[in-house]
């Protein structure tokens, strides 16, 4: 097997690795939509979809088939090229970001030094899909949604970037694998504890960046119909949908990686010696990611939509000051070699 | 080396075409999007030069933030092409003259005489262990610490000036203060709870005075 793998050209090897990442991801996206409807259903004392397949388990497939069958309507006065380009611009960064994501010790497609920076850059590109869609649709509601999204993402990206600067200071590296290695130990040595304010800011900014409730003013069904994607239908709409959910999974996985120790086990090394389940492994990363994915749904079912000006206030006047102060605190703690996180 | 060279030419061509489109497109939104494309392909060129930190930061700062704000403004413009093009022939000679002079000046300074391969030979490729970020940090905070700090101060001055220029109170417009609004509590600020003695069942309870009152803030 190994010889066969090594005999393949490098390009084919990389392609196989990409498929091995993207296919499960798209499957997860599909079933995340079902999970969302089920979880929110149960939170609101409903059953959720239960007609297609066993207890609704084939609902995502049915949805996908329906969306593929539908006609893609292009508004008469829309900018046709940009209108069709926008969904692709939205989904490309959401998928490309996974290139530097380590799934286990050394299990990563591209182990680059500036991994964290690359992720930040790519997540900041996702907004172009929304803005271009809003403008190219030539529709008032779509443009309003795009404007709201642009302002919101610029505000929250700064807070998110600063929260990641805190992680960078704490770990001393931009490499995602090294960041996880820096959290080695047990539940209490992970970065969520020393970086608790930054962790909160990161998670909330992540929800705002993915345009999820309660920060979904870019869609705001009750105010601007469906915001930036009001003119989209069929597969073009489905691609936006895929991008949004892929981004949510990415933010959840990153929260697990940067603040919750990634694939590290919550138990100290001494307890788990040789135990495959309790020891470090991919399953821990998956478990943590699922938890954050659930938090996304939980928040959506719990909170009403934020008002637009209050979103701006929260981003600029609350989160950015918090992150700046806490970066200073973390830097001092690292200098003082505060145990147990930074003891030499 | 061959593949790298091929990539260089591809990205260089994209950069040039996109930059040309920026100044020739009629539609300002298209022009800004081509500028974004130019930034992305120049970032790719920097990454080819093993300056991956700079390349990614170019995308993060310029594409991810600055150009988003650009688009934000440009989308709301209603550009009238006819008035823009009025007098094009009349100003063409002087415009062309200035363009030629500028191009000549740029060539004299940035041209091969000062920045050619003799002056700046291509550096040796660094090993895979060299961290771009660390190297840059070491340089920025030691040799170039003064230019770095001065640039920061200049930016701060620009921020203060921009805010001062746009910050004006207009007494005729009514505005709300979200900070005050989020501090409003249910108790004394929004609802007034009125205690009333229970009345006899024959009279229907009309609790007009207990109606919720909006805060005047």
Strand, coil or helix: B130: coil
- Give A237's pLDDT tier (boundaries 50, 70, 90): confident
A29-48 residues touching B, CB cutoff 8 A: none
Greater confidence (A16 vs B79) lies with A16
Report yes or no: B57 at the A interface, CB cutoff 8 Å.
yes
Residues 68-97 of B with CB under 8 A from A: 68-69, 71-72, 75-76
Mean pLDDT, residues A163-171: 88
Residues of A in Cβ contact (< 8 Å) with B181: 310
The reported pLDDT for the residue numbered B202 is: 61
Segment A314-332 mean pLDDT = 90
Extract the tokens encoding B5.
């060279």
Please tell me which residue of chain B has the smallest CA distance to A316.
B179
pLDDT value of position B13: 93
Residues 6+ apart with CB under 8 A from A210: A244, A247, A248, A251, A296
Q: What DSSP line would sit under A279-311, residue for residue?
A: SS-HHHHHHHHHHHHHHHHHHHHH-PPPPHHHH
| Residue that is written with structure tokens 């790719």 in the block | B44
H helix and E strand count, chain B: 10, 0
B56 and A118 within 8 Å at the Cβ level: the answer is: yes
Helix (H) or strand (E) holding A29: helix A10-43
Whether residue B210 is predicted with pLDDT greater than 70 in this model: the reply is: no
| pLDDT for residue B174 is more than 60 | yes
Contact B75 A151 (CB under 8 A): no
| Smallest Cα distance from B53 to chain A, Å | 7
Interface residue B36 vs chain A (CB under 8 A): yes
Three-state DSSP at B197 gives coil
Chain A: residue nearest B129 by CA? A113
Option in B69, B75, B178 nearest A135 (CB): B75
Q: Which of A92-96, A161-165, A244-248, A334-338 has the lowest mean pLDDT?
A: A334-338
pLDDT at position B156 over 90: yes
How many Å is the Cα radius of gyration of chain A?
21
Q: Is B182 in the A-facing interface, judged by CB distances under 8 Å? A: yes
Range 311-340 of A in CB contact (< 8 A) with B: 312-313, 317
Q: Is the pLDDT of residue B1 over 90?
A: no
Would you say residue B217 has pLDDT above 50? no
Interface membership of B35 toward A (CB under 8 Å): no
Q: Which of A261, A57, A61 is nearest to A177 (CA)?
A: A261
Mean pLDDT check: name the lowest of A167-181, A304-318, B116-130: B116-130
Q: pTM, whole model, 2 decimals?
A: 0.82
End-to-end CA gap in chain A: 42
Residue of A nearest to B34 (CA): A82
pLDDT tens per residue, range A100-131: 888 887 777 777 777 888 888 888 888 888 88
Of the ranges A33-42, A304-313, B135-144, which is most confident?
A: A33-42
Q: Which residues pair with A104 in a beta bridge?
A: A107
**Interface residue B163 vs chain A (CB under 8 A):** no
Stronger pLDDT, A288 or B77, i.e. the higher one: A288
| Mean pLDDT score across all residues of chain A | 84
pLDDT at B158 over 90: yes
Q: Residue A211 belongs to what H/E stretch? A: none
Average pLDDT (B161-183) is 81
Q: What is the pLDDT of residue B215?
A: 46
ipTM for the predicted complex comes to 0.81
* Residues on chain A touching B64 (C-beta within 8 angstroms): 120-121, 124-125, 127, 157
Q: Is the pLDDT of residue A13 over 90?
A: no
Percent of chain A as helix, strand, coil, to the nearest 5: 70, 0, 30
- Residue B53 at interface with chain A, using a CB cutoff of 8 Å: yes
Q: Give the gap in angstroms from C-alpha A57 to the nearest C-alpha of chain B.
A: 38
**Between the CA atoms of A114, B69, A240 and A212, what dihedral angle is there, to the nearest 10 degrees?**
80
- pLDDT tens string B35-79: 999 999 999 998 888 788 888 888 888 888 888 888 878 877 766
Interface test with B, best of A174, A176, A306, A317 (most B CBs within 10 A): A174
Candidate from A120, A153, A309 with C-beta closest to B68: A153
Contact check, Cβ <8 Å, B56/A121: yes
Q: Note whether A154 contacts B69, CB cutoff 8 Å.
A: yes
What are the pLDDT digits (tens) for A49-70?
888 888 888 888 888 888 888 8
For residue B216, what pLDDT is reported? 47
The token pair that represents B47 in the structure block: 């990454």
Q: Are A21 and A98 spatial neighbours (Cβ–Cβ below 8 Å)?
A: yes
Give the confidence band of B201 by pLDDT, cuts at 50, 70, 90: low
pLDDT exceeds cutoff 90 at B161: yes
Torsional sign, CA A294, A295, A297, A302: positive
Q: What is the pLDDT of residue B97?
A: 94
């Amino acid at each position: 097997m190994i010889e066969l793998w090594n005999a393949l050209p490098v390009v084919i090897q990389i392609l196989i690795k990409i498929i091995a990442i993207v296919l499960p991801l798209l499957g997860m996206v599909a079933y995340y939509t079902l999970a969302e409807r089920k979880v929110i259903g149960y939170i609101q004392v409903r059953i959720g979809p239960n007609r297609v397949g066993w207890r609704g388990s084939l609902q995502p497939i049915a949805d996908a088939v329906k969306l593929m069958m539908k006609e893609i309507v292009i508004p008469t006065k829309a900018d046709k090229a940009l209108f069709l380009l926008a969904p692709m611009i939205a989904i490309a960064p959401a998928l490309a970001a996974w290139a530097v994501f380590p799934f286990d010790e050394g299990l990563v497609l591209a182990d680059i030094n500036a991994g964290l920076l690359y992720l930040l850059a790519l997540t900041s590109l996702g907004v172009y899909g929304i803005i271009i869609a809003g403008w190219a649709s030539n529709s008032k509601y779509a443009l309003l949604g795009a404007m709201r999204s642009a302002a919101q993402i610029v505000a929250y990206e700064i807070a998110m970037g600063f929260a990641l600067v805190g992680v960078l200071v704490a770990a001393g590296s931009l490499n995602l694998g090294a960041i996880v290695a820096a959290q080695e130990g047990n539940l209490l040595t992970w970065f969520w504890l020393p970086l608790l304010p930054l962790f909160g800011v990161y998670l909330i900014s992540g929800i705002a960046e993915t345009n999820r409730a309660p920060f979904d003013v870019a869609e705001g069904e009750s105010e601007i119909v469906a915001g930036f994607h009001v003119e989209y239908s069929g597969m073009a709409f489905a691609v936006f949908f895929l991008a949004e959910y892929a981004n949510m999974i990415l933010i959840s996985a990153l929260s697990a990686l940067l603040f919750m120790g990634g694939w590290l086990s919550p138990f100290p090394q001494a307890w788990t010696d040789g135990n495959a389940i309790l020891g470090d492994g991919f399953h821990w990363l998956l478990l943590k990611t699922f938890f954050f994915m659930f938090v996304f749904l939980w928040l959506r079912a719990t909170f009403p939509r934020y008002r637009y000006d209050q979103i701006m206030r929260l981003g600029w006047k609350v989160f950015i000051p918090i992150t700046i102060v806490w970066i200073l605190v973390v830097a001092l703690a690292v200098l003082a070699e505060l145990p147990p996180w930074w003891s030499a | 080396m061959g593949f790298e060279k091929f990539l260089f030419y591809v990205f260089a061509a994209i950069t040039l075409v996109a930059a040309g489109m920026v100044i020739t497109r009629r539609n300002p939104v298209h022009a800004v999007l081509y500028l974004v494309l130019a930034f992305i392909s120049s970032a790719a060129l920097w990454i080819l030069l093993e300056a991956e930190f700079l390349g990614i930061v170019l995308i993060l700062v310029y594409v991810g933030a600055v150009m988003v704000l650009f688009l934000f403004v440009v989308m709301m413009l209603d550009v009238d092409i006819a008035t823009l093009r009025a007098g094009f022939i009349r100003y063409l000679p002087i415009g062309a003259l200035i363009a030629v002079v500028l191009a000549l000046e740029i060539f004299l300074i940035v041209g091969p005489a000062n920045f050619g391969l003799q002056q700046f030979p291509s550096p040796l490729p660094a090993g895979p262990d060299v961290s771009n970020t660390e190297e840059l940090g070491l340089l920025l905070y030691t040799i170039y610490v003064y230019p770095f700090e001065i640039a920061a101060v200049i930016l701060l001055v620009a921020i203060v000036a921009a805010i001062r220029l746009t910050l004006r109170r207009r007494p005729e417009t009514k505005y709300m203060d979200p900070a005050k609004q989020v501090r409003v509590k249910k108790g004394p600020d929004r609802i007034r709870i009125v205690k009333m003695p229970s009345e006899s069942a024959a009279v229907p309870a009309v609790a007009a005075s207990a109606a919720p009152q909006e805060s005047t803030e």
